[in-house]
Amino acid sequence: MSASDPNSSIFLKEIKEKINKYAYSGGRDTVEEHQEKGGDCSVDVAFQYLTYFEENDEQLEKIRQDYSSGAMLSGEIKKILIEKLTRVVLGHQTSKKSITEDIVRGFMTPRQLVFDF
């Protein structure tokens, strides 16, 4: 991802804007039609991301059922994803602060590989 292309990376402050603006929705054209026919999880980008970030399979299945039945709207599923991604990014930022030069040096130091066949 390139920082010079604003659409190629997601920064913490831009998560909400980018998901709401660019994430293709499997929802219908109107709220009424969506509530009647439900959304298509197989093409909904927010749901596809949730399959990677939602650790609770039961919760993911409930989201799928609610969205497919029309009980949950596209904005609601995007909101769930935004909250999940924000937590992941904050976790990475927090972890990154604890990395020292010694830790990096330990990973980057060449060492003899030992294969025990």
The tens digit of pLDDT for each residue in 64-114 reads 999 999 999 999 999 999 999 999 988 888 888 899 999 999 999 998 989
Decide: helix, strand or coil at residue 46: helix
Domain total for the chain?
Answer: 1
Position 114 in a domain: no
pLDDT at residue 5, as a whole number: 65
List CB contacts of 42: < 8 A, sequence separation 6 or more.
26
Cβ–Cβ < 8 Å for 34, 28: yes
Position 48 in a domain: yes
Position 20 in a domain: yes
User: Which residue segment(s) compose the domain that 25 sits in?
Assistant: 14-106
Global pTM exceeds 0.85: no
Q: Amino acid identity, residue 110?
A: P
> How sure is the predictor about 4, in pLDDT bands with cuts at 50, 70 and 90?
low
CATH number assigned to the domain comprising residue 69: 1.10.240.10
pLDDT at residue 12, as a whole number: 75
Cα-trace Rg, the chain: 20
- With tokens 């039945």, the residue in question is 69
Measured distance CA(98)–CA(64) in Å, rounded:
37
Position 8 in a domain: no
